[in-house]
Amino acid sequence: MNKINNFLPNQYDQDQLFSVKHNYLSEQFSDYKTILSKIETVIVNNDFTLGREVDQFEKNITNIVGTKHCVAVGSGTDAIRLSLIALGIKQGDEVITTPYTFHATIGAIVTAGAKPVFVDIEDDFNINTQKIISAITHKTKAIVPVHWAGRPIEPLKLSEISSKYSIPIVEDACHAIMAHRDGIKAGTIGHTGCFSLHPLKNLNAWGDGGFICTDDTSICEKLRLLRNHGLESRDSCNIFGFNSRLDTIQAVVANHLISSLPHITKMRIKNALLLDEKLEGIKQIRTPIRDPKIHEVFHLYCFQAENRDALVSFLNSRGIDAKKHYPIPMHLQKAAKYLGYKKGDFPIAEKLADSTISLPVHEFIIPEQLDQMAELVRSFYNG
């Protein structure tokens, strides 16, 4: 086996070489000294683990998402995993999900003890709700849909399936804070809604972090136990749990940024729709159809492109941080070999994995950069 090294520092260095980047953290946290001054209070109070800022963050989130409860945890991955465990998912259970997602969605299901069962997606990158029913068996104990790139799934159809078959929903809403569809917010459709505070999410922190939203008080109480070793007090352990607490320092950063979230969301939407206009008419690309009932928040701006790999290389060579999110669907990953899937099982997911490109549309992208990206895409196809 090859030695597994930390590959991220090299990635960070490479990303800095682009003139138009997905990474916008230097700009977003240009006021870092203000944040550091707030962190001083944490240090003085020795308030590092599940401190007061975590409590305040959870209150702030309930106001934004609109659920009764929020439980802050160590990562978006843990948000999904602990949700499944709180719902009683165990070894041998099946969980229906999408093959077109980041590895964390599937890792959370597997480490909770369950078997992921994949259902193909639609051209908008989200799970095909019509195909979920045919995947349900007596072993199906949960459904984990993903609001891909901040585009919400169909809430009414999913809720109908959940109710009809008595199968709980754990939403992977890690891309989708403030997204909504048919007036229903991402994170409020299922039994739990799971979010990430990873540094490149729309609401982010200075490291890993996540949170779970729910209206179910019983689930909330289980989650509060599970994230903190199962402790109901310093000396009393109710159940054996995990160490998955949002660091107080990360809560300080998230609380500092949270008032900017409406602006961040507004600018991502504005930039994405402008880029839609600028790319219009290029017959070799295909963007998802925009529906006024769908309020997508563009954690990523994705579209399908002919000769995708060459286009990515072309844009990279000209300073544009074009990326492939993600070129290998989950059912074809080495880690998923034991599940027995093969190439061709989920044709739409495979097609999108082969053809999807992502361009930056975050709040620090300016109109001239949108023009530059669109002109380069057009020039690539026009020769």
User: Which is it for strands 192-196 and 210-214: parallel, antiparallel or unpaired?
Assistant: antiparallel
Q: Residue 285: is its pLDDT beyond 60?
A: yes
Per-domain residue ranges of the chain: 8-27+260-382, 32-257
- Look at residue 309 in the predicted model and tell me its pLDDT: 98
Give me 57's structure tokens: 């963050």
- Residue 165 token pair: 């078959």
Rounded mean pLDDT, 280-309: 96
Segment 106-116 mean pLDDT: 98
| Phi, psi for 280 (deg, rounded to 5) | -60, 140
Shortest CA distance to 362 belongs to which of 130, 201, 161, 192?
Answer: 201
Whether residue 3 has pLDDT greater than 90: no
Q: CB-based burial of residue 242 (10 Å sphere; 0-12 exposed, 13-18 middle, 19+ buried)? A: middle
CATH, domain range 32-257: 3.40.640.10
What is the pLDDT, as a whole number, of residue 328? 98
Q: What is the mean pLDDT of residues 367-382?
A: 97
pLDDT in tens, 208-228: 999 999 999 999 999 999 999
Question: What are the backbone angles phi and psi of residue 181, rounded to the nearest 5°?
Answer: -145, 135
Tens digits of residue pLDDT in 118-130: 999 999 999 999 9
**pLDDT over threshold 90, residue 365:** yes
What interhelical angle do 32-45 and 248-258 show, nearest 10? 140
Cα–Cα distance, 159 to 154 (Å, whole number): 9
| Predicted confidence (pLDDT) per residue in 324-338, tens digit | 999 999 999 999 999
DSSP 8-state symbol, 150? G
pLDDT at 1 over 70: no
How remote is the C-alpha of 5 from its chain's centroid? 25
Q: What is the 3-state secondary structure (H, E, C) of 100-115?
A: CCCHHHHHHHHHCCCE
| 94, 119, 187, 343 from 330: Cα distances, Å | 16, 11, 23, 11
> 10-44 as b/e, with b when 16 or more CB fall inside 10 Å?
eeeeeeeebebbbbbeeebbeeeeebeeebeebee
CATH superfamily to which 8-27+260-382 belongs? Aspartate Aminotransferase, domain 1 (3.90.1150.10)
135 vs 3: CA distance, rounded Å? 38
44-66, pLDDT tens digit by residue? 999 999 999 999 999 999 999 99
